[in-house]
Chains A and B, each alone.
Chain A
Amino acid sequence: QTVVTQEPSFSVSPGGTVTLTCGLTSGSVSTGNYPSWYQQTPGQAPRTLIYNTNTRSSGVPDRFSGSVLGNKAALTITGAQADDESDYYCVLYMGSDIWVFGGGTKLTVL
């Protein structure tokens, strides 16, 4: 069974740039997986950041961007801020009307 992989944790300095990735244990991620990204802080519902690989949801700052890099989907945060400290999840469309979330990345800004 294919699993969606994410870095368990990542750290970035304030003002720095970080790229979180979303891969597959078998195969490559493509735009046909329609990767999307979500931000979640403790006790809150997720917030949609990016959909269809690189489209920002309404109200999302342009320092968040999405792409496919090599064989993975990627979320890049440019100019990280303290309130970017959150959990970040990707989800991939696996075909056959099935979606699979990654395990999430806990981002620390320090």
Chain B
Amino acid sequence: EVQLVETGGGLIQPGGSLRLSCAASGFIVSSNYVSWVRQAPGKGLEWVSIIYRGGERYYADSVRGRFTISRDNSKNTVYLQMSSLRAEDTAVYYCTKAETNAFQSWGQGTLLTVSS
């Protein structure tokens, strides 16, 4: 059974940095595509980033240059390193296993609040 567990959210000041983790089980992250999707409070879903099995990484315009997706194959974990955080980055961040051009499995999410 595929499981994704996000951790690392919390309260951070504007301009700060934080790293989210997505621990996967039931599949091997290095053989699959893993993506981050976020949802601001009371708002819709927004695609953030994806890492392919070959290691290629892609980002939404809203986070490119500030966020970096990576993975640790030994820990079967995907990360989202976030810097220069803004109030508008406040959201629940979901980790998803992407396959067949869709986001097939979802974690329960971790809440990031950017506020002074």
Contacts and interface: CB of A to CB of B under 8 A. Distances in A.
Given A97-B50, A100-B47, A91 B106 contact: no
B56 A45 contact: no
Given A45-B106, A45-B108, A98-B60, A34 B50 contact: no
Interface string B69-97: 00000000000000000000000001000
B103 A48 contact: yes
Given A45-B107, A101-B46, A34 B94 contact: no
Contacts of B50: 97, 99
Contacts of A104: 44-45
Interface in A26-83: 34, 36, 38, 40, 45-48, 51-52, 55, 57
Contact-size category for B: 20 to 34
Contacts of B27: none
A91 B104 contact: no
Interface in A86-110: 87, 89, 91, 93, 97-104
Contacts, number: 61
Contacts of A40: 45
B107 A55 contact: no
B100 interface: yes
B102 A36 contact: yes
B69 to A, nearest CB: 12
A46 B100 contact: no
Contacts of B37: 46, 101
Nearest to B94: A45
A45 B93 CA distance: 10
B46 A36 contact: no
A55 B101 CA distance: 11
B31 to A, nearest CB: 18
Interface of B: 35, 37, 44-47, 50, 56, 58, 60, 94, 100-109
9 contacts: A36-B102, A36-B103, A40-B45, A45-B94, A45-B107, A52-B100, A89-B45, A101-B46, A104-B45
